[in-house]
Structure 1
Amino acid sequence: MGARRRRTGHDWKLLAESCAALLERVPELVDEHLRRLAEHSSVYGRAIPYDQHWREAEDAIRIGIETISAAPDAPRRDLAYAEDTGRRRAQQGLPLELLVHAYRSAGYLVWDALLEGPAAREPERLRALLRSATMVWSAVDAQAAAASEAYRATERELRQRTDEQVQALLDALLEGHAAPGLAARAAAGLDLPEHGRYAVVVLRAERRETFHRPLRGAGFRFVWRMRTDREVGVVALAEGQDLDGVARVLTERSSGPGGISPVVGGLAELGPARRLAELALRTCPPDAPEVVRLDRRMPTALVVSQPELADRLVADVLGALLELEPADRAVLLETLDVWLACEGSAGRAAGRLYCHRNTVFNRLRRLEQLTSRSLARPRDLIEMTLALDAYRLSGAAR
């Protein structure tokens, strides 16, 4: 990183003498350096307290001048100091380009001062300095590079630390923690309003690769958290946006099930919303291709939220049906499912099942006989519908 050329003989002696004379002018150089930086950008003054900036600039310029005239095998104190400076400036929030500019500006200032010193009156000394120009500017470049590298490393660490802190706040909200100020801190970290329209989305793990990338052109803002078996997303809803749009966007982008909570009024309500989104997900069969809203699956959600009652419902309503041969049972349950999806239309159900409508009627009558229930009675129809849902979801509900 900017190794210096070995210097010997008369040139080195003259350069060392010029640097020794220049060390006496360091306070003057520091004043001029800070004045130039302030003229270049007011950000220096806002990011770094003046007294601290002055002391650090004095150390940097003094060490830099000493480095120019040091022995070739001397330790590079200038590089170590530049690394420390780069880390401090990253922590203070000074833009990297201003850090690099400060090193360049100090380099020009020191070089001009060397040329204006005794070298201005002695041609031999001036020629020696000019022959050393490459070495001097290589040292300045190495310092700027060392400071920049340390700055970037510190910036990455700070960004990762900040991201981890924000994600921890979001996790706490999704878990339903109610610590004072938690929602406000998360809002500041996520750049989201503390109070607003939010919903939580829970997706099965197989969808992860699709949703790890931001959704483009969807018009929604999602914040995602990864879990071992699922992915949890917080969606901020702008005025005029609704959950149908969220479901449509997510369903279009990949296959597999997902659940969406009802809309809540702020970040502090994400915990209950996350639990409701998980409940919505449980209403989906494992191979379902859609993302569903809980408020559109309330009866089924009631079933899956009570596994013991769901088992009793299946046994009570479908007990005799479950004793049939698997193929026979599957045909009858599929017919009921399609008939319900077609809103009780035997003709439409027949079209989807590729059979005659009388066949649909015959299968439904057989179902009524096996279950001792009538599809014409509302309460019986509700029981059969919920029992069908409980049976189809029994594997996902436990």
Structure 2
Amino acid sequence: MDEDVRQTLRTAASALLDHHLTRLTDDLVDRVRQADEVYCAYVSYEDHWSSTREGVRQGLAAILQEPSERRDLVFTAAMAQRRAEQGLPLDSLLRMYRIAGQVTWTAMVEYTEREFPDRLGVLVRAAGHVWHAIDRQCMVTCDTYSRREQEILGRSKERIDAILDALLDGTADAGVVRTAAASLDLPERGRYAVVTVRFPGYRHQDDVRLPGSLGGARLLWRMRAGHEVAVAALGEVTLDELCQELSLIVSGVGGVSPVVGGLAELGGAHELATLAMRTCLDGGPELARLDARIPAVLVITQPDLAGHLVSGTLGPLLSLDAADRDLLLTTLETWMACDGSAARAARRLFCHRNTIINRVRRIEQLTGRSLARPRDIVDIALALEAVRRLPETT
């Protein structure tokens, strides 16, 4: 910038600073609030006016300072941080700077045209320098705002995670439950379930709404040690519908709790969902509902008793050589899965119906149990669950 341009700019800036600061502030505030209703919603008029006056003062004063000083940028950064904390959108803040540039430049042109018309051509050569200064303010605003926004979001997420942890751990008292309802925008009483997914599982957003066809059910995910957890605010969605939707996106193994009646019950639901997940065999994908896995849960939660049950019920069968043992266990499991129908079991195992009947009789002889007696069937069914899910019992 040559000295003639610099002096012309400084003359205009000094005059505006000394005699027109209040008028410029009024003009800029009115134009911003007329152009952007969002600004009005987040920033009070008093706050807006006082900060604008200081911002205009700093901007004009910067023209009188050496370029290396740019004390206006310190104020710009502080204001960007403050507006981020207030929640004002960045677009609104940047729009304000564009309007500020227009108002300030127009005032400089009008002053120079009125007082020093012969220098108007010189002032025009300074336009690029003025708008470059505005661009620098916008760059500082974007950088500071973004960093502060990330800090705020990080703290907000940490707070939400802490609230979810208290709910899922069952340590939330009545006050925490009320805070959770307000912070998470959830009702204290309502239909909830908990979903657990073991890694590798499902890559997701932290807060997901299921499709509208499922009544807008909402999933709030939280990463825990070794697995992920979701609080499912079901609304009118059934567990069948929830599981159907999850089955399309969960690639690992997971568990689903029964429906509970409020946020205070999520700790117990989390335990039940974790137990349901533990019944899943390796490999997946598999999504286990607790209400469909109760026998398996009973087995895995009492491994010592399960071991006694296995040895007392299936011991002689398990003592056979591996090929014979596996054949009879597969037959028994298939026969029970077919509700005791030898014909259906035979079709599944690609053999004759009489082959199934003969194998079932042999199982009864080995175990001393009758597959026609309900109590023996219960013992055998639980023992089979233990054999499948607790290999150490065999």
Same fold (TM over 0.5): yes
What is the CA–CA distance in structure 2 between the aligned matches of 1:236 and 1:200, rounded to whole Å? Answer: 9
Which of 8, 14, 20 is the aligned partner of 2:2? 8
* Alignment equivalent of 1:259, drawn from 255, 258, 263: 255
Counterpart residue identity of residue 186, structure 2: L
Aligned equivalent of 2:132:
138
In 1, Cα distance between equivalents of 2:197 and 2:97: 51
Measured against aligned partners, the alpha-carbon deviations of 1:235-275 in whole angstroms (never above 9, x if no partner) come to 22232x21122223333445543221110111221110011
Residue 23 (structure 1) aligned with residue 20 (structure 2): no
Residue matched to 1:67: 62
Which residue matches 1:3? none
Match of 2:30 among 35, 39, 64: 35
Q: Distance in 2 between matches of 1:95 and 1:255?
A: 37
2:42 matched residue in structure 1: 47
1:348 matched to 2:323: no
| 2:319 alignment counterpart | 323
Does the 8 A contact of 1:285 with 1:396 survive in 2?
no
Mapped contact 1:210–1:254 kept (Cα < 8 A): no
- Taking the aligned partners of 2:350 and 2:153, their CA distance within structure 1 comes to 59
TM-superposed CA distance for 1:375, in Å, is 0.6
Q: Tell me: CA distance 1:337–1:96, structure 2 relative to 1, closer, same or farther (3 Å).
A: same
2-structure distance, mates of 1:161, 1:261: 30
TM-score for both structures, normalised by structure 2: 0.91
Residues 1-398 of structure 1 aligned to structure 2 (within 5 Å): 7-24=1-18, 25-72=20-67, 74-209=68-203, 217=211, 219=214, 220-239=217-236, 241-254=237-250, 256-287=252-283, 289-395=285-391
User: Per the alignment, in what secondary structure is the counterpart of residue 320 of structure 1?
Assistant: helix
Q: Which deviates the most, 339-348 or 13-22?
A: 13-22
Q: Is 211-220 or 385-394 further displaced after alignment?
A: 211-220
- C-alpha separation in 2, matches of 1:66 and 1:362: 101
**More divergent stretch after superposition (174-183 vs 338-347):** 174-183
| CA RMSD, Structure 1 to Structure 2 (Å) | 2.4
Whole-Å separation in 1 of the counterparts to 2:268 and 2:88 = 41
User: How big is the shift at 1:378?
Assistant: 0.8
Q: Is the 8 A contact 2:279 2:297 kept in 1?
A: yes
SS of residue paired to 1:202:
strand
Q: Aligned partners of 2:343, 2:195: CA distance in 1, in Å?
A: 37
SS at match of 2:196: strand
The 8 Å contact of residues 168 and 270 in structure 2, kept in 1 or not, is answered as: yes
The residue type paired with residue 161 of structure 1 is R
User: What is the deviation of 1:77?
Assistant: 1.4
SS in 1 for 2:390: helix
Amino acid across the alignment from 1:98: S
- 1:114 deviates by 1.4
Partner Cα separation in structure 1 for residue 96 and residue 205 of structure 2: 43
Q: 1:77 to 1:203 in 2, by over 3 A?
A: same
- For 1:222 and 1:244, the matched residues in 2 are separated by 15
Report which stretch shifted further, 75-84 or 7-16: 7-16
| One-letter identity of the residue aligned with 1:64 | G
Instruction: Return the offset for 1:211.
Output: 9.0
Identity of aligned residues (%): 46
